Amino acid sequence: MVILKQTLYKGIRVYKGIEYPTGIEIVSPELWNKAHLAIQENKTRADKYTKHYNPLKGILKCPCGCNMQIVASGNNHHYACVARANKKEKRRHKPECPYFGINVKDLIAILWNEVKYRILDSEYKAKSNEKMDALKAENFQLLQQIEVKKGEIESLKADQATIIGNMALITHTNIIQSFEARVNEIDDKIKEIENTIKGIKKEITKNERKISDENKAQSIKELEEMTIGGKAEIFKNMFETVIWDSVKTRRGILVVNYKNGIQMMYVYKSTTKSGKIAINLPTAFEYNPETHKVIVKSMKQPQASPESPFNFSLETVTSEHSADEMIASFKGEEEYDLSQSIWG
């Protein structure tokens, strides 16, 4: 069961009495119901993870900069930094990478939920539409460029025809030779332009593919029928990188960097005592890769002093928190109860 707290439906998380948006804005109850249905339907599809199929290939990164790969230990699969998991890589990376891995099922469950909510999220949609509009505008320009190039070819061909026409009236060898050279020159120029047009057409096709990918990501119906291979494709379409930053075992910060520039953050912890939890952090929070902590900027309560009773200027206070500290602050507000994960 995926448990969503009431406040999170509205995309708000309360941190130390202050409401922060989490970036999740469900567009309409209809859409929400559809998404929920999709989650329910996924119950029947248990995803099997193997060492040989990595749905986050090239996307999931360790803070050391290396990719992470799936490592099997019995039935338990987890992602580990290649500098730790792989003997050959291990030799290359000395001293050994100090960061820890994460359970594959848990990570995919968090990311798949994240993707689904984001697809329903109006902010993502707006950016996605913006991106599609930009691609469409670019293609329009490229098509116009092709028209201009075609015009150039037409006028070159007309020049050529004139020269060839004149050649018939001339008997002087030297002049004929120079006319021939000019005809060949124009031929080369035409070929060059034709190649440019080919290049532009390739660019257009590439953009069209991007538009259709973006459309696909927006389609909820397709999400309902997603296999692990399909999920992998969506991850590839939407994520630039995902960073699993863990300085201690079984807990850490998950940073999701979308291709359209949005960054989302989670804190995750897996304990034998209180189970597994993943918490989606407010979008106003930032990630500090240097300290492996979450940066929180909050407003200091204005304090009126006797000297300046009307001084209400707000002061920004910046603090940094570890994954453990973040989880402790949001205790009881867990977004996902992964211990009862429907993904098994």
How large is the C-alpha radius of gyration of the chain? 29
Q: Under DSSP, is residue 247 helix (H, G, I), strand (E, B) or coil?
A: strand
User: In terms of CB distance, is 59 or 262 closer to Zn ion?
Assistant: 59
Query: Taking contact as CB under 5 A, which single stretch among the options 58-66, 154-162, 169-177, 266-274 is the one that binds Zn ion?
Result: 58-66
**Could you tell me which residues come within 8 angstroms of residue 195 by beta carbon, excluding any fewer than 6 positions away?**
none
Tell me the backbone φ, ψ of residue 134, rounded to 5 degrees. -65, -40
Can residue 323 be called a binding residue for Zn ion (CB under 5 A)?
no
Q: Is 64 in the site for Zn ion (CB under 5 A)?
A: yes
Q: Which is nearer to Zn ion, 83 or 256 (CB)?
A: 83
Residue by residue, DSSP assigns 149-180 as: HHHHHHHHHHHHHHHHHHHTT---HHHHHHHH
247 binds Zn ion (CB under 5 A): no
d(CA 5, CA 14): 12
Chain CA centroid to CA 93, Å: 28
Residue with Cβ nearer Zn ion (66 or 120):
66
Member of 66, 104, 204, 281 binding Zn ion (CB under 5 A): 66
Choose the stretch contacting Zn ion; rule: CB under 5 A; options: 63-71, 109-117, 236-244, 308-316.
63-71
Site residues for Zn ion, 99-158, by CB under 5 A, read 99
210 vs 204: CA distance, rounded Å: 10
**Judged by CB under 5 A, does residue 68 bind Zn ion?**
no
Per CB under 5 A, the list member of 4, 24, 56, 83 interacting with Zn ion is 83
Indicate whether 81 belongs to the interface with Zn ion (CB under 5 A).
yes
Is position 97 an interface residue for Zn ion (rule: CB under 5 A)? yes
**275 phi and psi, to 5 degrees?**
80, -160
Find out whether 323 and 337 touch, Cβ atoms under 8 Å.
no
| CB of 197 or CB of 253, closer to Zn ion | 253
- Toward Zn ion, which CB reaches closer, 85 or 262? 85
> By the criterion CB under 5 A, which residues form the site for Zn ion?
62, 64, 66, 81, 83, 97, 99
